[in-house]
Each structure stands twice: as structure tokens, then as C-alpha cells.
Structure 1
Amino acid sequence: MILVTGASTGIGLATAEALARAGHRVVLHARKPDGVSNPALRAQMHGLIFGDLSDQQQTRELAVAANELGRFDAVIHNAGVINGPVTAVNVIAPYILMATLTAPRRSIVLSSSMHRSGSTDLNRAFRGPGDYSTSKLLATTLALALAARTSTLSHAVDPGWVPTRMGGPNAPDDFDAGHRTQEWLATADPKDILPVSGGYWHHLRPQDPHPYTTDPAFQDSLVEKLARLTGVAFPK
């Protein structure tokens, strides 16, 4: 069973549909029920769960609903925004889900090449709604911290700049290539994935992320900051 967050449109929807067509039991998350109005899409999915990831309480309730479905083989943290409550959706929500879901076997966090220009000043990062590049730096750090600290096989993925509602119609990258990597990481035999955990990927190839994302001291500082903000301890 695979959970895909933020899957009512764009790459998330394509990921969920491709995994369902391949025979996997997919649980699709959307912000509101009216975001998944297509009966055919609903019929494809093993389950549907709803919640606004900019709201910490709704994110916790989402985790409770997801846990009632059972342990996931993989969670794809696809949900993200480029404007508005960026830190809440792109960083705090995946942290809460990582900390409160029954530990999945695999976790994949959507990142961006823009993470390399993010700020490593955590006080600045959590001041106001946040900025996209910094949020993706922190989300990538969370993915690699999960890999370093738990038995969950955890990775971050740069899907590229693809033509979605967020990326815009003139984005230059291939849309299908934008979701293949996370599908593969969620389902492939672990012996075919190198590194088996803790990788940063772009179009099925491991890449070097921002050096702070793999720094244990920076990972610790981020995890401690998020634990204080949410009242939820990071998994061990």
C-alpha cells in the first residue's frame, strides 16, 4: 500500500494513477473531497484521505486516518506549494507525517534543484510563511535525516521543472520523467537501488545535494527545531 500526498493534480496525480495501473494499492491524499470528483479516479484508488497540510491539527488527523488503513509500504511526500504557507506545507507537514504515521518501509520526499540556493539559517527559515528554496532544502534534509536515523528507506527526489500548475505551461522538462523516479523508489527491489537509502535523485540518477542536507549537526538542529514547533518527536 502506497500513500501519495497532494495527489489531486499534477505530478502527484500522475504518480498515483501510474502506481494504481501497475497494480499497487494506492491511497490518494487531497486537500478537500471536491478535489477528487472524478468517479473513475476514485474507483482506481484503494483509499482517499483528506486534509489541509498547512494546518498542523488537520495534518495530525490525516495521519490518524492513514494509520487506520494499515502500515504503508511507501509514503510519497509529494504535496507542496511555491507561494503562501510554504514552510507549513513543504516542511512541517512532512515532518508531522514522518513522526506520527506508523513507520513505512519507504519514504520519498519531493525536493527541487532550487534547494541548493536555500538558506541554512533556521531562525530565518521559520520566520513568516517561508520561501520555496529554503523549504526544499529543509525537506531534503528531513528525508536524509530519516534515512540516517531509522530503518525506513528514505530518499529525496528532484522531479525537474515540469509543466504543472506549479511549474507553469512553459516548463522545459518532461512531465512523465518528473514522476518516474519516485514510483521506482517506492516499488523497486532495494538491491536495484544504489544508494539503497539516503539518496538525492533526479531522473533515476543519484545526484549530490546541498552539503548541509547530509550534515548530522544540521540535521539534528532541524529535527530539534521541528520537534519544538510541533510537539512531536522525530522517529528513531
Structure 2
Amino acid sequence: MNDGTMNHAIGHPESREGAKIILVTGASGGIGKRTALALASQGHTVIMHGRNPDKTRHACDWVIEQTGNPNVTCHVADLSLMREVARFAVEINERYGRLDVLVNNAGGQFGNERETTAEGHERTFAINTLAPFLLTNLLLPMLANSPSARIVTVSSESYRQSGAPRLDDIELEHSYSLVRAYGSSKLYVWWLMRQFDARLKAAGVANITVNTVEPGSAVTGLQRESLRKSPFMLPLVILWMPFMRTAAHGARTSVLMATSSSVEGVSGEFWGSRKPKRINPKWISPQGEKAVWEYCAKACAAYLDGSATPIDLA
């Protein structure tokens, strides 16, 4: 594989009033693809990330065709591997120099048996929690170059299915289940975003906002893949199907938080259905947030050493 870049035309957003440079991870299908479509429709430069080269290229071509916006590019990286996350961050920095919005959309849900990546991390945790932590940290200097930058991270209401957080077994070596792994990963990534918000404010960085969103239950490739690996969930999905949203509907809150002037300056919040979510206080845990942050910082230390991140990583 080459460096992961796929050559599509890119314009200069500085010459288009109000246009932003926006990176959407996990944009080759589902909610990410629809997020990219909506943002490209608004005239922004959109960087589409995917794992599968052919699927990502086709998604990029489709967005350009549907919107008539040539300022759409695509890049390939396997975000389950932190070395790939680090390479991807370098690639984005070298090509674009500035980033206005980061949409951490990529995610995964796996089977009933615990799987680990080539780097030894539980696969769900690696993609849903560790990758957004590392990518966000590595791209913070680029975001800091924007006059008004935004970080939007996709979590899920499934965090409520995680049960009591197992901070002594964060990667579920001894207590794995599909539901717990996915729910915990979405709880932890929300906690990490709360930490990013707090640490940016503590560092006096006022031009970057950080928010978490949940898209609601949407019919996407993630659900289909989950059913393939865990067919026992089919009756539950059939029961909920009438209440599930389309991927386009699921993308609406991400798009709002990425570009709407109505949320300018809003930070540290959890949004769904285009409004702030009411959070049960039992899920707020400063101690848990710090523990997960420290765990991720240690796991990613090799890639963060010497980075120019403006926040305190300790």
C-alpha cells in the first residue's frame, strides 16, 4: 500500500469565504459517508478517511458526484493500529497544514470472542477509544492554527449498557462481552472528550471546542456486521427496526456540531437529536475520566513523545 493518499482534486478553502477544512474518519460508509456528503454540500473541503481503499475511493467519488464539490479527498488508514493512526496524522499535517474541524466518527463493534490487534489491544477499545485519543492529540497543533476549530466525536447511547466501569480491566481481559466492550468504549471516548475540553481550557486554548454526539440507532454497515458476527441479536434488531434512523438522519447532529453558527463556542457537551442530552450524574466520574486518560496516554506514549500538543498529557 502507498502512503494512504488517494489523489482527488483539492481547492484552496481560504479563497472560498466561510469554507472550512474538515476531516471525517470512518467516512467510507454509513453515518460517516452521509456526514461527509452534508459537509461537502455546504461547500467545505472534506477529507474522507476509510480503511478499505476501494470502498473509500468509491465513497469519495460519490460525494463529489452528488455535490459537485471537487474539494473532497480521501485517505486510507487502519485506525485499529496506533502506528497507522500516527502515520495518518503525519500525512494529514503534511498535506493540509491546517484543520478546522475533526469529526471522530470511525468505530467498530465485534464478535462474542475477545479479539486483539497486532499491537495487543482489544479491538473495540483500539478503534472506538484509543484511536480518537491519539488522533485528536496529534492533530491538536493543526486545529490550533484555525481561528475557530471544533472537535466532534461520535459516541453512542450504548454507553449506558457498559455496566459499572472496570477501571482495573479497561481492555476487558477478564470480563469481555460484546455489549460491554462496545458500551465501555463509547463511555470512555466520551470521558476522554470531557478531558480534552477541560485540559484545553486549563491551557488557555480558547479557539478549540470539543463536543460529543450520539447519532441514535441507525441502520448502517456497523449494525449489519454486528449481526453477521452475533446473530443472536437479530430478534432485538427486528424489534427496534421501526424506531431506527437512516444513516443520513444519524449524521445530522455531527453536521450541526461541525459547522453551525448556532453552536459557536459550545464546548464540553454531549448532544443527540441536535440538542444537548440530559445525562444521568451517575455516568459522570472525574476519577474515571482521569484513569482512562492516563491509561490511554501510557498506551500511546511512544507516539506522543515529542508531540507539539498544547495540553498537559499527564
Report the TM-score, using the length of structure 1 for normalisation. 0.90
Identical residues among aligned pairs (%): 31
The separation in 2 between residues aligned to 1:97 and 1:220, in whole angstroms, is: 18
- Contact 1:4–1:28 (Cα < 8 Å) also in 2: yes
What amino acid is aligned across from residue 134 of structure 1 in structure 2?
Answer: S
Evaluate the alpha carbon distance shift between residue 212 and residue 5 of structure 1 in structure 2; reply closer, same or farther with a 3 A threshold.
farther
Match of 2:170 among 120, 125, 128: 125
The separation in 1 between residues aligned to 2:100 and 2:57, in whole angstroms, is: 26
Residue 142 of structure 1 and its aligned partner are, at CA, apart by 1.2
Partner of 1:94: 132
Evaluate the alpha carbon distance shift between residue 235 and residue 54 of structure 1 in structure 2; reply closer, same or farther with a 3 A threshold.
farther
For residues 117-156 of structure 1, the aligned pairs below 5 Å read 117-118=161-162, 119-128=164-173, 131-150=181-200, 151=205, 152-156=208-212
Partner of 1:113: 157
Residue 179 of structure 1 and its aligned partner are, at CA, apart by 0.5
The separation in 1 between residues aligned to 2:310 and 2:170, in whole angstroms, is: 22
Residue 26 of structure 1 and its aligned partner are, at CA, apart by 0.3
Deviations 1:134-192 (A, max 9, x none): 00000111112111111321111110011111234854232232111111111112xx2
The separation in 2 between residues aligned to 1:193 and 1:79, in whole angstroms, is: 23
Report the TM-score, using the length of structure 2 for normalisation. 0.69
Evaluate the alpha carbon distance shift between residue 210 and residue 100 of structure 1 in structure 2; reply closer, same or farther with a 3 A threshold.
farther
Residue 195 of structure 1 and its aligned partner are, at CA, apart by 7.5
The separation in 1 between residues aligned to 2:296 and 2:56, in whole angstroms, is: 31
SS in 1 for 2:219: coil
Evaluate the alpha carbon distance shift between residue 204 and residue 42 of structure 1 in structure 2; reply closer, same or farther with a 3 A threshold.
closer
What amino acid is aligned across from residue 244 of structure 2 in structure 1?
Answer: D
Partner of 1:9: 29
SS in 1 for 2:86: helix
Evaluate the alpha carbon distance shift between residue 194 and residue 123 of structure 1 in structure 2; reply closer, same or farther with a 3 A threshold.
farther
Does residue 70 of the first structure (1) align with residue 78 of the second (2)?
Answer: no
How many residues get paired?
234
Residue 193 of structure 1 and its aligned partner are, at CA, apart by 2.1
Partner of 1:40: 61
The separation in 2 between residues aligned to 1:103 and 1:138, in whole angstroms, is: 24
The separation in 2 between residues aligned to 1:94 and 1:178, in whole angstroms, is: 19
Evaluate the alpha carbon distance shift between residue 194 and residue 207 of structure 1 in structure 2; reply closer, same or farther with a 3 A threshold.
farther
SS in 2 for 1:107: strand
Larger radius of gyration: 2
Evaluate the alpha carbon distance shift between residue 63 and residue 211 of structure 1 in structure 2; reply closer, same or farther with a 3 A threshold.
farther
Partner of 2:46: 26
The separation in 1 between residues aligned to 2:71 and 2:257, in whole angstroms, is: 20
Tell me, which stretches of 5 or more residues in structure 1 are unaligned? none
Does residue 198 of the first structure (1) align with residue 268 of the second (2)?
Answer: yes
Residue 209 of structure 1 and its aligned partner are, at CA, apart by 3.4
The separation in 2 between residues aligned to 1:48 and 1:40, in whole angstroms, is: 9
Partner of 1:225: 295
Partner of 2:223: 167
Stretch moving more, 39-48 or 216-225: 39-48
Tell me, which stretches of 5 or more residues in structure 2 are unaligned? 1-20, 65-69, 116-122, 144-148, 225-236
Partner of 1:180: 252
Stretch moving more, 140-149 or 119-128: 119-128
